[in-house]
Structure 1
């Protein structure tokens, strides 16, 4: 598996602050990594995360990179990279009235994600920005990216599939 710098640092800090919580985090992440160890990086879906709060610009940081990698995907920061999955982090209810125009963008409309109806809305506040929510954010992404392997019960509360058709 690729280098997980953010996670490694988070785990080290957590083990120092609260050894039990650090051990729990490590066990849960190890389960995810173990379940997906035979899915080679070349066949993992590419995932683009867009933020409604920043006029649908891509969200890309080291924390999100590790979240998506652990969840079984490959994070990308540019719509030109032809994402297999697009997730939009919802800021408010106006998303539903603007999402179609976002997906009609010349590049996004031709992406594998739009063509194969792999569009998801993440409704969790502060997604991929809070250290304390790292495991929950991984679980959300794992349900979206590798649904055959993971069901944590976040669908319908923290995220939903958006049907284009």
Structure 2
């Protein structure tokens, strides 16, 4: 059983559990028909950050540890909000990376997500799906919990 299924089975309110399951099923159904996208997760020292790697699979992406081979770069760091990331990340970007050349750099306030409940985990999956499949998903958190960073 996946961590998402485990989290959903722990929801006590049957109506909320059904709503969350429907949201999870919607994402799962849509990504079935899409190619998985290579994503490099980085922290503010340009080191690979693996804490979201398991969640990526539910959002239609997979972990690419090399920034040069990724379609998207997602920067996140605990205790760093979007404003701090906007100050720090530009100096770390290498112009030769494909994601940088194609303006596919994303900044994410990882502290804005609740990992301790099914609703928070599902929200993270939805947002990652929207980040990595623009135009296919719109959940409305862009600008609040994450932003597309354009050079």
Global fold match (TM > 0.5) = yes
Equivalence for 1:123: 109
Secondary structure of the 1:20 match is: helix
Specify which structure has the bigger relative contact order, considering alpha-carbon pairs within 8 angstroms and separated by 6 or more residues. 2
Q: For 2:18, which of 8, 20, 23 is the aligned residue? A: 23
Secondary structure of the 2:10 match is: helix
Cα distance in 2 for residues equivalent to 1:115 and 1:26: 37
CA displacement 1:96-135 (0-9 Å, x = unmatched): 332122113xxxx433212212001113525474434111
Number of positions where the alignment pairs a residue of Structure 1 with one of Structure 2? 147
CA RMSD of aligned residues (A): 2.4
* CA 1:162–1:81: 2 relative to 1, 3 Å: closer
Equivalence for 1:48: 40
Equivalence for 1:95: 85
CA displacement 1:38-95 (0-9 Å, x = unmatched): 22xxx3211122233xx3433324xx3343222221123x226711101112504333
Q: How does 1:40-79 map to 2 (within 5 A)?
A: 43-52=35-44, 55-61=45-51, 64-76=52-64, 78-79=65-66
Normalising by structure 1, what TM-score? Answer: 0.75
Equivalence for 1:12: 9
- Say whether the 8 Å CA contact 2:42–2:48 is kept in structure 1: yes
Structure 1 unaligned segments of length 5 or more: list them.
none
Cα distance in 1 for residues equivalent to 2:38 and 2:76: 17
Normalising by structure 2, what TM-score? Answer: 0.81
- Say whether the 8 Å CA contact 1:84–1:111 is kept in structure 2: no
Q: For 1:36, which of 11, 31, 34 is the aligned residue? A: 31
